[in-house]
Amino acid sequence: MMTRRAVLAGAAALAAGPGFARPGVEIAGIRLEPDHEAMVAVPGGRIYVRVNGDLKGPRPPLVMIHGGPGSAHWYYLNATAMAGERAIILYDQLDCGRSDAPDDPANWQLPRFLDELDAIRAHFGVARWHVLGGSWGGTVALEYAARVFRDAPDTLASVILQSPLVSTPLWLRDAGVLKAGMPPKIRDLLDRCDVPGAVPQAECDAATDAFYARHVHLAEPTPTIAAYKAALPRSFSSGIYNHMWGRAEFTATGTLKDYDGTPLLQSLDGRRTLFVAGAQDEAIPATVAGFAAAVPGGATFREVPDAAHSVMNDNPGAYLAVLGPWLAAHD
């Protein structure tokens, strides 16, 4: 039975044109079941952490920070195909996925999300690791890397900032550019939907989905990953998203509305920092490349073809082809 959201997605597909929601790709060797899992104590509750691979192996593990705010670890499952080379650590932030859900806005502060990484590393006894963050997870990774490169650089093998939220003003500037490229009817709807009640919600949802179909997700999750996602207690926590960001990707009204992490770029180690964006990403590749260029000495930038914001879901093979050599070169 189709849900209302599925019907709206279909309407968005017609509006956005061919190519919307193509079948996803599942990488050979993906591991749906964890080798280890734990509920790790953090300020405010406990977070769910799963590990595939050997944490005591010769290569540093990779921890992956999901976006949102309010998403969950499911869309990084394709990365578990690398678990034969190194341990892959996926986790859900507090109030997300399988983690505790105190639903207390007092917990939705950037410093507390950084504390989650410290808790994971301590719980599993990780001496040194690679850290990857996507979108809002890129914000967490940026803040974490800037601190660690300053205070304990030997514990961080490298940091990967994929489609990161580095500056809300720059994000909204780019969103305006992308909105301007939408069909006129959809562009007009997206603008009018910023006024509560100005447009029927169904029309706003369909217009938003049309934007997302171009710049957020080009592919549906595979049936296997979709079933895993559906089994989570929460695959998306709208309360956190609305509180910290706003109603949609191109509208910031929450606590991150004035966020500017660009000064932190000066604290990164260019030799150990990789920026990534999808070719059709809402985090426009030219902007992300500019962040890389702003790091002292210049960080590395890679663009993943045929991918929007959900890079690991849209083109996992090409993304892993970037990540594998990078991680090996910085172990």
Q: Is 135 assigned a catalytic role? A: yes
Q: Residues 94-101: what's their mean pLDDT? A: 98
Q: Residues 219-239: what's their mean pLDDT? A: 96
What's the DSSP call for residue 314? H
- Rounded CA-CA distance 276/325 in Å is 14
Amino acid in the structure at residue 241: Y
pLDDT value at 9 more than 70: no
- Which of the residues 73, 309, 310, 314 is marked catalytic? 309
pLDDT tens for 281-299 read 999 999 999 999 999 999 9
pLDDT value at 137 more than 50: yes
Q: Is 281 assigned a catalytic role? A: yes
In 3D, which of 250, 255, 253, 297 has the Cα closest to residue 272?
297
The helix (run of H) or strand (run of E) holding residue 205 is helix 201-215
pLDDT at 301: 98
- Which of the residues 135, 158, 237, 310 is marked catalytic? 135
pLDDT value at 206 more than 80: yes
pLDDT value at 159 more than 80: yes
Higher-pLDDT residue of 23, 184: 184
- Rounded CA-CA distance 160/141 in Å is 8
Maximum Cα–Cα distance for the chain, whole Å? 58
pLDDT at 161: 98
Domains of the chain, first to last: 34-329 (3.40.50.1820)
Terminal-residue alpha carbon distance, the chain: 48
Count of alpha carbons within 13 angstroms of residue 29, beta-carbon side? 13
The helix (run of H) or strand (run of E) holding residue 123 is helix 110-124
- Which of the residues 92, 174, 205, 281 is marked catalytic? 281
Please, which residues bridge with residue 131 across strands?
63, 159
Q: Name the pTM for this structure.
A: 0.93
Q: Check: CB of residue 250 under 8 Å from CB of residue 175.
A: yes
pLDDT value at 126 more than 70: yes
- Rounded CA-CA distance 26/183 in Å is 32
pLDDT at 310: 96
Q: Residues 273-285: what's their mean pLDDT? A: 98
- Rounded CA-CA distance 81/53 in Å is 10
Q: pLDDT band at residue 21, thresholds of 50, 70 and 90?
A: low
- Rounded CA-CA distance 307/277 in Å is 8
Q: Is 45 left (phi over 0), alpha (psi -120 to 50) or beta?
A: left
pLDDT at 324: 98
pLDDT tens for 26-35 read 889 999 999 9
- Rounded CA-CA distance 275/293 in Å is 10
